[in-house]
Amino acid sequence: MNQIDLSHRHAVVTGGAQGIGLSIAARLVASGASVSLWDRDEELLSIAAKHLGNGKVVSVEAIDVSDPAGVAAATAAAIEKHGKIDILVANAGIAGPNHTTWEYPIATWKQVIDINLVGVFLCCHAIVPHMLCQGYGRIVNVASIAGKEGNANASAYSASKAGVIALTKSLGKETAKQNIAVNCITPAAARTRIFDQMSQEHIDFMLSRIPRGRFLEVDEVSAMVAWLVSEENSFTTGAVFDLSGGRATY
């Protein structure tokens, strides 16, 4: 494992209690950062905190990222406990069920957008002002290859992730002169609990689209993110980094 120096940095990782988020948090801690894990599953948060190490290095907040008041309170709590927020990894998201667009339940469609896109906006909205005041920040928003290509029978998920890509580009331009780097990643599917929300037919479809012939490993995501949130990433902002196993064509 390449060693990235994140000592004296504090990171917020949303959706950090499991899967990709937990892997990213573990890599950041291994690189010397302290981490605040945000997730709506209190039980999994407790398990994750014990796995990473309790106390000063890791703190947890049970929140729904689509709740503005909850995000604001969690931001204040992280700053009070750790003194600052240098890094945001906006990873929390849901897949939603698989339906054609015209059969997609409207309430569920809105829920996917609220968590996957509005949630990223709310986290950036709450944390970026603090980064502007300190003159430093690194943000990685977790989008998806579906946000570039649009997966059939996953219009809500695809639209939400396309929105994350555009949001990243806008925010990257707005903060480019403030020593704040804002980038996003577009991973192909990784075998995590998000698969529980998908049909087997959709899972098979996603695998068939990956030229490497396998799903993404969560540690492959955290390796890329560790560099993107480091001080070494001093120029790139508003960019999209693919983890698609060859699927991406642009």
The CATH architecture that domain 10-242 belongs to is: 3-Layer(aba) Sandwich (3.40)
For the chain, which residues score pLDDT lower than 70?
Answer: 54-55, 193-195, 197
CA 179 to CA 133: how far, in whole Å? 11
Which residues are catalytic, by number?
Answer: 157
Residue 82, C-beta contacts closer than 8 angstroms, at least 6 positions apart: 10, 34, 36, 59
3-state secondary structure of 34: strand
Place of tokens 């750790």: 82
Render pLDDT for 143-197 as a digit per residue (tens, 0 to 9). 999 999 999 999 999 999 999 999 999 999 999 999 999 999 999 887 776 667 6
Tokens describing residue 118: 């509005």
225/44 Cα distance (integer angstroms): 22
Q: Residue 102 corresponds to which tokens in the numbers above?
A: 């015209």
- Helical residues (DSSP H) of the chain, grouped into ranges: 19-30, 42-52, 68-82, 106-113, 119-134, 146-149, 155-174, 200-208, 218-228
* pTM of the predicted structure, to 2 decimals: 0.94
Give the pair of three-digit tokens for residue 237.
């902002």
